[in-house]
A and B are shown apart, each in its own frame.
Chain A
Amino acid sequence: MRSWRTVDLVGLLALAVLLALPAVAPSWLVGDLAMYLSYALLAVALAFAWGHCGLLSLGHGVFFGIGAYAMGTLTLGMLPGLEAVRSTWLGLVFAVIASGATAWTIGWFTFAGRGLHGAFFGIVTLALAVVFERLAINWDWLGGLNGLMNVPPITLGPNGDGAELWEPVPLFYVMLGVLAATVAGLTAYQRSDRGLALAALRENELRARALGYDTGALKRRAFALSGAVAGLAGALFVVQFGFASPALIGFSLSAEALIWVALGGRGELVSAAVGVIALRLLDSQFSSSLEAWWPLVVGLIFMAVVVLLPRGIVGEAVYRIARQRGR
């Protein structure tokens, strides 16, 4: 029998705990957790781009928001010429394609030739977040500042008909399934030849190029994949939340996603996912009691973690356990 990597064991353990949770947790908590799982999906997308590929994105909320707006406009029948189409399934496809294509386009602009230094890529994504938020606020068709209201929940029929999925427990399991499958799939990808090439590129782009890799194309594809996953997260968020607003597409969610991933741990998808769920739970505890002090506390913790624990809190714990086990 092969011996398991620590991070995989931690992932399986977390999965087991979450699977069992609805049996003991009150249903409002299960509903909240289902929502957090879509944030976890966003964090996983960001951890893949940043931790694995070295593409620090300060604007990952953009792809999440595009996914949410794509799902919303389609299932609300707002797309010109496609008013009759209301399918959740097509909405998911649309969200994934729209966000992935946007990410690919950003990559096309910034990874050409020798490409932008990683740090400056971050700045471009920050600008992207600011611009997209402004656009969403000012675009009346997208509901402007109010956003899209009354986005329908997941419908199981082919075109917006059939059973609706809004009960917390089934929603929770659907979300958990999607998250687990995504983490498993991306992890397998990271450990494949192409994933290893991406990791090599993160460590030393010049050498990767010297070895004959088309690093620009590799990065573009990886970033598009990450954007698509973030778009999927946004689509699955909006069908639960029922409401897509400019806050999802811009600066503040991007900033939060970055904090989740930095605190959880950018190095492993599992750490990022566990980190975001933990942080959201803390957030719901403290944001009302500490009010405006809470973001300040989070910001201070964030700075401390950046300086002292670059692997993140969960990531550091996983690393220490792994070193103990020797695996």
Chain B
Amino acid sequence: MHLATLLLDGANAVLILMLVALGLAIVFGLMNVINLAHGEFLMLGAYVVLAAGQAGLPFWVGLALAPPAVALVGLVAEEVLVRHTYTRLLDTILATWGLSLVLRQAAVLLYGPGSHSVVPPDLGAVTIAGSPYPVYRLVVMAISLTAIAATFALFFRTRFGLAARAVIANRAMASCLGIDTRRLDRWTFAVGAGLAGLAGAAMAPLIAVDPQAGLGWLVPAFLAILVGGLGSIAGPLVGAAGIGGLDSLTAAVASPVWAQLAVFVAAILVIRLRPTGLIARRRRES
């Protein structure tokens, strides 16, 4: 494979992984919920695109529908399931794990256990450094970058984001200032789910759309968070760059199996050496 293609594909994988990890990290940071159904939200995003295509809608409509549709699923899940386990961190894992099983099985019931393919929109190819590269993949990168930037803007440039950061820092005090933390939780969970849905929808034409599609993203995204550290919003992004980069490079020079092994070994080495992650949490003045 041509070097430029390889690097571009790697960048593509890293950006999507950043998007997935960001959604996970936001939900964990604000709500202290470890969402094991995050991968299934991604899978749902891909299925929305598939369903839209089967209904005769253009690809782009499916892409635009996926984030709100998955966010809605997230809202319902938060209300019905997740909020009942807030005070028990390990139980949030179990509850969302159960949710992931149910969502996967729902996909099996609706679309069968096999995989489907989504035809990518025909945008042609451009020549980059002497080799042709599909324009759609560049579009996916642009979507990821935009979504990451928009998420940052949401959390650092809006009053919603300010309230969210206050809740992350001190939930009780934020509540005493009149911030409805329940509502914030609900919307944060929806935003996290929507981000995953967007990632899945954008990736739908590039992957096999099947009920297991989410799992392959969930694990690297979590490893990215563990490696990067949860102290800051930059941690998951750095972790995603490391994990995604190592994965794509090893997959290109060796094989996907070696890549997965390399990522796992590298991740637990980092965890052993720096249990708080590469970007450790700043010491707070008490």
Contact = CB atoms under 8 A, between A and B. Distances in A.
Contacts of A54: 90
Given A127-B267, A306-B94, A296 B275 contact: no
A131 B109 contact: no
B101 A295 contact: yes
B95 A119 contact: no
B7 interface: no
Contacts of B209: none
Given A110-B272, A127-B264, A299 B105 contact: yes
Contact of A306 (B98, B105, B226, B267): B98
30 contacts: A58-B97, A106-B268, A108-B272, A109-B268, A110-B271, A110-B272, A112-B272, A119-B93, A120-B226, A122-B93, A123-B34, A123-B223, A124-B226, A124-B271, A126-B219, A127-B219, A128-B264, A130-B219, A130-B260, A251-B215, A255-B101, A258-B94, A292-B105, A295-B105, A296-B106, A299-B102, A299-B105, A302-B98, A303-B98, A307-B85
B219 A303 contact: no
Interface in B11-39: 34, 36
B215 A307 contact: no
Choose among A114, A123, A128 the residue with the greatest number of B CB atoms under 10 Å from its CB. Answer: A123
Given A124-B268, A306-B98, 12 more contacts: A110-B268, A110-B272, A119-B90, A126-B36, A127-B222, A127-B267, A131-B260, A135-B257, A258-B97, A292-B105, A299-B101, A307-B91
Chain B interface size, under 10 / 10 to 19 / 20 to 34 / 35 or more = 35 or more
Interface of A: 54, 56, 58, 106, 108-110, 112-116, 118-120, 122-124, 126-128, 130-131, 134-135, 138, 251, 255, 258-259, 262, 292-293, 295-296, 298-300, 302-303, 306-307, 310
Interface of B: 34, 36, 81, 84-85, 88-95, 97-99, 101-102, 105-106, 108-109, 113, 215, 219, 222-223, 226, 255, 257, 260-261, 264, 267-269, 271-272, 275
Contacts of A251: 215
A255 B90 CA distance: 15
A276 B219 CA distance: 27
Contacts of B255: 138
A128 B275 CA distance: 17
A134 B91 contact: no
Contact of B257 (A56, A124, A134): A134
Nearest to B101: A299
Choose among B99, B261, B264 the residue with the greatest number of A CB atoms under 10 Å from its CB. Answer: B264
B99 A303 contact: yes
Contacts of B269: 109
A123 B226 contact: yes
B34 to A, nearest CB: 5
Contacts of B268: 106, 109-110, 124
B94 A262 contact: yes
Nearest to A105: B268
A127 B36 CA distance: 12
A156 to B, nearest CB: 39
B264 A131 contact: yes
B264 A302 contact: no
A300 B272 contact: no
Contacts of A126: 36, 219, 222
